[in-house]
């Protein structure tokens, strides 16, 4: 679950004033979810903002809860309104923070690696366009930002 990986309180506090996040569903909605009476759908990968406004939002308003399965699907990176892209960057780079337990485990692993030297750390999913996938271009020069847009 999200709460097993990320610091939920930090997430909520970081985004306060931007979006409303609730920890507990209202009783009526919670009961419907427990009974499996919720709308479930796979979002279409790399959709633009109008897909979410015109397709997903009406379903959310109708059903009150939507389960978006296959959540590796991404909102398109180019052509988003600035406030949406800024929110996405704040979520990815500020609001998401690992739980204390995961942070402590990470520090312990790094300590052991430094003591045992030498070591090589390799991220097997590193892709040249990882930064492009995030959609963020904070502190990039205009030429770099243009290159990221082309990569997307």
pLDDT tens sequence across 11-63: 999 999 899 898 888 898 889 888 888 888 888 877 888 888 999 999 999 98
Between 72 and 90, where is the model more confident? 90
One domain for residues 79 and 145: no
Instruction: Specify whether 70 is located in the same domain as 140.
Output: no
Asked if residue 93 and residue 139 are part of one domain, the reply reads: no
Same domain, 99 and 40: yes
Number of structural domains found in the chain = 2
- Among 40, 53, 45, CA closest to 84: 53
Per-residue pLDDT tens for 86-140? 888 888 888 999 999 999 999 999 999 889 888 877 766 656 556 666 666 667 7
Give the pairing type, strands 39-41 and 66-68: parallel
For the record, the structure tokens of 148 come out as 């990221």
Q: Is 82 exposed, middle or buried (0-12, 13-18, 19+ CB in 10 A)?
A: exposed
Q: Give the structural domain span for 10.
A: 2-120
pLDDT at 24 (0 to 100): 87
Same domain, 26 and 8: yes
**Both tokens of residue 52?**
């979410």
Q: How far is CA 87 from CA 16, 82, 93, 123, in A?
A: 11, 9, 10, 26
- Predicted confidence band of residue 78 (pLDDT cuts 50, 70, 90): low
pTM over 0.75: no
User: Among all chains, which residue has been given the structure tokens 């204390």?
Assistant: 100
Residue partners of 118: CB distance under 8 A and separation at least 6: none
* Residues 17 and 51 reside in one and the same domain: yes
Percentages helix, strand, coil for the chain (3-state, rounded to 5) are 55, 5, 40
Q: Are residues 87 and 45 both part of a single domain?
A: yes
The whole-angstrom separation of Cα 152 and Cα 149 is 5
DSSP 8-state assignment for residue 6: B
**Residues 128, 116 share a domain:** no
CA distances from 133 to 12, 49, 92, 141 (A): 24, 16, 11, 17
Q: For 1-5, what is the mean pLDDT?
A: 89
The answer on 25 and 42 residing in a single domain is yes
Instruction: Please give the backbone phi and psi of residue 128, each rounded to the nearest 5 degrees, phi first.
Output: -60, -25
**150 has pLDDT over 70:** yes
Same domain (yes/no): 76, 126: no
Query: Are 30 and 100 found together in one domain?
Result: yes
Residues 16, 70 share a domain: yes
The model's pLDDT over 28-40, given as tens digits with 9 standing for 90+, comes to: 888 988 888 888 8
């Amino acid at each position: 679950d999200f709460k097993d990986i990320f610091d939920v309180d930090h997430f909520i506090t970081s985004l306060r004033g931007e979006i409303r996040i609730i920890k507990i569903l209202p009783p009526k909605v919670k009961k419907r979810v427990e009974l499996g009476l919720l709308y479930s759908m796979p979002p279409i990968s790399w959709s633009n903002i109008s897909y979410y406004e015109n397709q997903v939002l009406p379903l959310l308003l109708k059903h009150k809860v939507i389960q978006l399965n296959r959540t590796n699907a991404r909102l398109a990176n180019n052509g988003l309104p600035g406030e949406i892209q800024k929110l996405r960057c704040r979520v990815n780079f500020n609001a998401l923070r690992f739980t204390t337990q995961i942070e402590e485990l990470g520090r312990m692993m790094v300590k052991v690696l430094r003591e045992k030297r030498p070591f090589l750390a390799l991220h097997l999913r590193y892709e040249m366009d990882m930064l492009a996938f995030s959609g963020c271009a904070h502190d990039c020069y205009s030429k770099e930002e243009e290159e990221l847009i082309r990569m997307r």
